[in-house]
Structure 1
Amino acid sequence: MTHHSLKATKKTVHLGGFSHLLTPALIIDSGDTIDVETFTGYYIYDKAPPEFLTPEFVDICQNLPDERKIAGGPHLLTGPIYVRDAEPGDVLEVKLEAIAPRLAVGFNAIRPGWGALPEHFTQPALRFIPLDLANNIAEFPANSRIKIPLKPFFGILGVATPTSDRNSIPPGNYGGNIDNRELQAGSRLFLPIYVPGALFSLGDGHSAQGDGEVNVTAIETSMNGKISLKLRKDLSLRTPIAETPTDIITMGFAETLDAALEQALKNMIDFLKHFANLSAEDAYVLCSLAVNFRITQVVNSPHKGVHGMLPKSILSPKIIL
Structure 2
Amino acid sequence: MPEVLFHIDLSKPMEEQDVPGHNRWHPDIPAAVSVKAGSEFRIECKDWTDGQIQNNDDPTDIRDVDLTRVHVLSGPVHIEGAEPGDLLVVDILDIGALPGAEWGYNGIFARENGGGFLVDYFPEAGKSIWDFHGIYTTSRHVPGVRFPGLIHPGLIGVAPSHELLDAWNARERELVKSNPGRIPPLANLPEPRSAVLGSLRGAQFDRVAAEAARTVPPRENGGNCDIKNLSKGSRIYFPVFVPGAKLSVGDIHFSQGDGEITFCGAIEMSGWIDLHVDVIKGGMAKYGITDNPVFRPGPVEPRFSEYLVFEGISVEETTGTQHYLDANVAYRRACLNAIAYLQVLGYTAEQGYMILGTAPVEGRISGIVDVPNACCTLAIPTAIFDRDVLPHA
2:118 is matched by which residue type in structure 1?
Answer: L
Which of these two proteins has the greater Rg computed from alpha carbons?
Answer: 2
Equivalent pairs, count: 232
Residue among 267, 275, 280 paired with 1:227 = 275
Pairing 1:80-159 to 2, within 5 Å after superposition: 80-102=76-98, 103-113=101-111, 114-133=115-134, 136-142=135-141, 144-159=143-158
* 1:170 correspondence with 2:170: no
Instruction: State the partner residue of 1:269.
Output: none
Indicate the larger mover: 36-45 or 85-94: 36-45
Instruction: State the partner residue of 1:79.
Output: 75
Contact 1:17–1:72, Cα closer than 8 Å, also in 2: no
Pairing 1:45-60 to 2, within 5 Å after superposition: 45=52, 47-49=53-55
Q: Distance in 2 between matches of 1:227 and 1:74?
A: 23
2:276 is matched by which residue type in structure 1?
Answer: S
Q: Distance in 1 between matches of 2:219 and 2:232?
A: 22
User: Structure 1 vs Structure 2: percent identity of aligned residues?
Assistant: 25
Indicate the larger mover: 17-26 or 84-93: 17-26
- TM-score normalised by L of structure 1: 0.65
1:62-91 per-residue CA deviation (whole Å, 9 max, x = no partner) reads: xxxxxxxxx936211100001112111111
Q: Distance in 2 between matches of 1:197 and 1:84?
A: 6
Deviation for aligned residue 1:143: 7.0
Deviation for aligned residue 1:6: 2.1
Instruction: State the partner residue of 2:297.
Output: 244
Contact 2:229–2:298, Cα closer than 8 Å, also in 1: no
Q: Distance in 2 between matches of 1:293 and 1:131?
A: 24
Alignment partner of 2:155: what SS?
A: strand
1:153 is matched by which residue type in structure 2?
Answer: H
Deviation for aligned residue 1:294: 4.0
1:236-265 per-residue CA deviation (whole Å, 9 max, x = no partner) reads: 121210012469xxxxxxxx9759xxxxxx
1:285-320 per-residue CA deviation (whole Å, 9 max, x = no partner) reads: xxxxxxx9947xxxxxxxxxx9xxxxxxxxxxxxxx
Instruction: State the partner residue of 1:17.
Output: 24
* 1:38 correspondence with 2:45: yes
2:54 is matched by which residue type in structure 1?
Answer: A
- TM-score normalised by L of structure 2: 0.54
Q: 1:140 to 1:293 in 2, by over 3 A?
A: closer
How large is the Cα RMSD of the aligned pairs? 2.8
Contact 1:73–1:169, Cα closer than 8 Å, also in 2: no
Q: Which runs of 5+ in 1 are unaligned?
A: 51-70, 248-255, 260-291, 296-305, 307-321
Pairing 1:199-238 to 2, within 5 Å after superposition: 199-216=246-263, 217-236=265-284, 237-238=289-290
Instruction: State the partner residue of 2:346.
Output: none
Deviation for aligned residue 1:141: 4.9
1:223 is matched by which residue type in structure 2?
Answer: G
Instruction: State the partner residue of 2:371.
Output: none
